[in-house]
Structures are given as C-alpha cells and as structure tokens.
Amino acid sequence: MARVVILGAGVAGHTAALHLRRMIGREHTITVVSPNSQWNWIPSNIWVGVGVMSKKDVVFPLAPIYRRKGIDFRQAKAVAVRPEGDETDPTGAVDIVYTDPARKDQQERLRYDYLVNATGPKLRFEATEGLGPHGGNSVSVCTADHAVEASAALRASIERMKRGERQTLIVGTGHGTCTCEGAAFEYTFNVDHELKEAGVRDKAELIYLTNEAQLGDFGVDGMLFSQRGYQQSSRMWTESLFTERGVHSILGAHVHKVDPGVVHYETLDGEMHEQPFDFAMLLPPFGGVDLKAYDRAGNDISETMFNPAGFMKVDADYTPKPYEEWRAEDWPETYEVPGRPNVFAVGIAFAPPHQISRPQKTRNGTMIAPAPPRTGMPSGIMGKTVAMTIRDRINGQPAAVHKASLAKIGAACVASAGTGMREGSAAAMSMFPVVPDYQRYPGSGGRDFKGTRGDIGLFGHWVKYSLHHLFIYKAKALPGWQYIPE
C-alpha cells in the first residue's frame, strides 16, 4: 500500500490527483491538502473582474468531488516538509495546519510515500508598497474574491464616466519581476470592451503598464509567427492591437509604490515617473508559498530544497550563467527533487532555472525582469506526467520516469478581448515550445512555426468560452473527463 500526498488543489495538483486516482488501485491512498474548500478556474476570473460572470460561475466545492472519487481531502495548508521523516519515524512527512472551520488551526503530521508539491504561487503584494486589495490602493483579479472587488471598482468608475467625468484606468504589473503579463493584457482588453459597451470609451484613458521591455514579450521573449509568407513578431502584432483600440502603454516599468490615486514607477532608463489614476488593476509578483523543510534531526534545510523566491528546486540546471548561455536543456523534465526520488514539484511551485525574457537592470540597480509564465496547460501536463511516474513506481518500476519539459511542451494563451457569441473577440496565441530552443529552431525565434501563431477574431472568444466550460466539466470529474486534454 502506498500513500500519496498532493499539496495544492489547483490546475496542477487537482489534475495529478484525479489522474492518479484512476491509474492506481484503491489499496493506495491519495490525500489532497489545500487551504481553500473551493476549486477556481482562474483564467475566467478575468470575466468576473469586468462583471460578465459572477464568482459562482468560476468556483465549485472540492469536497464532494473528492468524496465521490475516493480521494482524501484535507482543507488545510502545508507548512513544513520533512523528507527524511522525524526522530520517531524515517518515513517522509508533511506538517499541515487546518483551515477547515471544523478543525481550524489544528495541526497534523501526514506521512507519505510520494509527495507532490503543487502549491502554486504566493501572491506577494507586500513586495510593492501600497499594492493590492488587502489594505493597498489597487485591485487584483488573481482570486475570485479579488475579481469581484475589481468589478465593483470598475463599475464605480464607469458610473462616474456616465456622469461626464474623465477617468484614467491602469492595468498591468505591479512589480518589475511579475509574470502572467498575458492575464493583465487580457484584462486590459476586456475593460476596453466593457467601456465601449457602456458608451463611455471616449471618457477613459486606458493604460497598460508592464514590466515587459516591449509589447508582445509576454515573459517568453516574444514570438515569431509565419503569416501570409512573412515572418511577423508578436511585438508588431500586439502594437497593432493597442493602436487599433486606442490603448496606451508604459513599457519596461517597475512599480515602486502605489499611493491612493498615484502609481510611482521607474522605467528601464532609470527615470522615475508618477501616473495618476482613478482605477488600477495591478498584478503582484509571485513567490513560492511559505513552506519550510527540515531534516530528520529537525534542522532547517529549506535553502537546499527551495530557491530564494520560495519555489521548490527540481531536476533543472540551476547553475548561474549569462543570459546568452541559457539553454532549453536547463529546464526540468521529470520535476523530481534531486536526491529525493519520491518528492516532486509541479505547476507554478517548481523553481524555473532562469527567466525566458532578457532580465534588465536600470542604472539605479532596479531589476526589471519578467518571470517565466507557467500557464494552465503546461501545469496540467506536468501534473499528469508526475502522476504517471508515481503510478509506474508504485507498480514496481522504481526507475520509471515520464517527462514533460517546458522546452518541449506547447501552450495556448487565449486573451479574451470582449464577450458575446457574435461580437466577442480574443487574441489567440499558441506557442510551441513554451521555452524557446534557439539551437533546435534557429531563425524562427526558437519555436516551431507550425505550432506558433497569433490571430485575433471571434473564433478566439469561442475557444475561450469553450475552454471555460470544458475545464470546469473536467475538474468536476464528470463522465469522460479523462478524455479532455490538459
């Protein structure tokens, strides 16, 4: 009998748990630990944030699904990993603290034979003074509750425009090291659409403020597309969209501080600027969640298992080297923690070996370096891949390993730019692979033209809308869920 413990019930952890449950016999236990009682389809928070969907459209309770599937669910947060066990028992263990109202703050040590860390990001609003909805001066769409608040603030701003007031709306990244620029981009164009729908677009200055050095970078060093016999860059493509829609932009920015109604930021040239605003949705930088690691004697070994940002180190090449020397092969394939063949980290929780976009420092020493995105599709694939490895190892093949490197996986990013089955629109991008491999695909931006494309149109909205329904269906583990790809 094997005990599998999965930390986190987001895209990566939930996918791993559901697949593993159908792959291994009931004599083996699967325990999912997650502090939230609900599952959230995070990409659709964008629509909650502009008021076209409500919170209940994007979340559902996890416990009934896990009960139906025979997965043990603990509504709790993991606080420590003990890969060598403790003085009483050498079996690996995790310390959890319940957030379940019925057992609130109770602690427990769970033993595991296999551990999957899929704890996702810690939203580090505190990295920028005044950032974020928790006592700060900007809103966010990172959680469904944040998005509900963002929607109310946007509506209030629209009401003022209807009364004839002009408003400045800023959407973007709240720190120089943010990731997920695609989400900020998407929210920008949904706001643009809502302003038009409300008949107040002419009353608004809409500004996209980003840490990307140029539009279309998206934290993946941009993309090259082959279209109508020409190579086109994602930069040109994105600049076209911004110009067409009249959306303004601030590039290469690190936000130092958000005061009520004013963003203070520095640009790549080292100049300091202030931008007044009436509404600001700024994403926080991500870090790993607060997890510690201890050896058998109880000594803190967190530094050996996590990078300084708190992400778990896996089978990547973390040797520091200049940007020009970074290679696709540096990226992890198995997500196994070195020296600990029964511990894995997937999704946003694993430590990337380096940025994909060129990191830059201003003359004042401020880092402006978009972090690599680890989006939904690759997170799901990583979760399933690790589930397959664990399945084989449980079934008596201790050396079995399945691989899914971000330098070999593709990703799709469908950035909605307005809803409606006839008048909606979205910028749909696909890239293959996510991490460019300049050796394998020279002359095409490190990617395969066959899988790398950008297009704008109504079809993109249909894709986005169908993904919303498909993924919620799949996450609910309804009949045939396993045939829906990650």
Ligand X SMILES: Cc1cc2nc3c(=O)[nH]c(=O)nc-3n(C[C@H](O)[C@H](O)[C@H](O)COP(=O)(O)OP(=O)(O)OC[C@H]3O[C@@H](n4cnc5c(N)ncnc54)[C@H](O)[C@@H]3O)c2cc1C
Q: Number of C-alpha atoms within 13 angstroms, CB side, residue 405?
A: 17
CA dihedral sign, ordered 51, 53, 57, 59: negative
DSSP codes joined into one string, 251-296: -SEEEEEEETTEEEEEETTS-EEEEE-SEEEEEPPEEE-S-EEB-T
Decide: is 219 part of the binding site for ligand X (CB under 6 A).
no
Which of the listed partners (ligand X, another protein, none) does 385 bind, with a CB threshold of 5 to 8 Å by partner kind? another protein
Which of the listed partners (another protein, ligand X, none) does 273 bind, with a CB threshold of 5 to 8 Å by partner kind? another protein
Decide: is 115 part of the binding site for ligand X (CB under 6 A).
no
Would you say 95 or 315 has its CB closer to ligand X? Answer: 95
Which of the listed partners (another protein, ligand X, none) does 264 bind, with a CB threshold of 5 to 8 Å by partner kind? another protein
Contact 37, 408 (CB under 8 A): no
Go through 129-139 and write b for each residue having 16 or more CB atoms within 10 A of its CB, e for each that does not.
ebbbbeebbbb
* Helical spans, DSSP H, in 298-375: 302-305
Would you say 81 or 200 has its CB closer to ligand X? Answer: 81
Distance CA 124, CA 121 (A): 9
Q: Which positions lie near another protein, rule CB under 8 A?
A: 207, 215, 236, 239-240, 242-244, 246, 248-251, 253, 256-257, 264, 267, 271-275, 377-378, 381, 384-385, 388, 402-404, 408-412, 422-423, 425, 428, 430, 432, 450-451, 453, 455-460, 462-463, 485-486
Task: Identify the CA nearest to 461 among candidates 406, 413, 421, 409.
Answer: 421
Sole binder of ligand X in the list 31, 45, 233, 385 (CB under 6 A): 45
* Smallest gap from residue 213 Cβ to another protein (A): 12
Would you say 98 or 326 has its CB closer to ligand X? Answer: 98
Would you say 149 or 455 has its CB closer to another protein? Answer: 455
Strand order in the sheet with 453-457: 411-416, 426-431, 453-457
Contact positions with ligand X (CB under 6 A) in 178-197? 180, 183
Which tokens is 344 given? 């894995």
State which residue has the least CB distance to ligand X: 10
Decide: is 384 part of the binding site for ligand X (CB under 6 A).
no
Exposed/middle/buried for 400, CB within 10 Å: 0-12, 13-18, 19+? middle
Would you say 379 or 385 has its CB closer to ligand X? Answer: 379
Sole binder of ligand X in the list 174, 252, 288, 347 (CB under 6 A): 347
* Number of other residues whose CB lies within 10 A of the CB of residue 372: 20
Interface contacts to ligand X, rule CB under 6 A = 7-13, 33-36, 42-43, 45-46, 77-78, 118-121, 141-142, 180, 183, 289, 347-349, 374-377, 379, 413
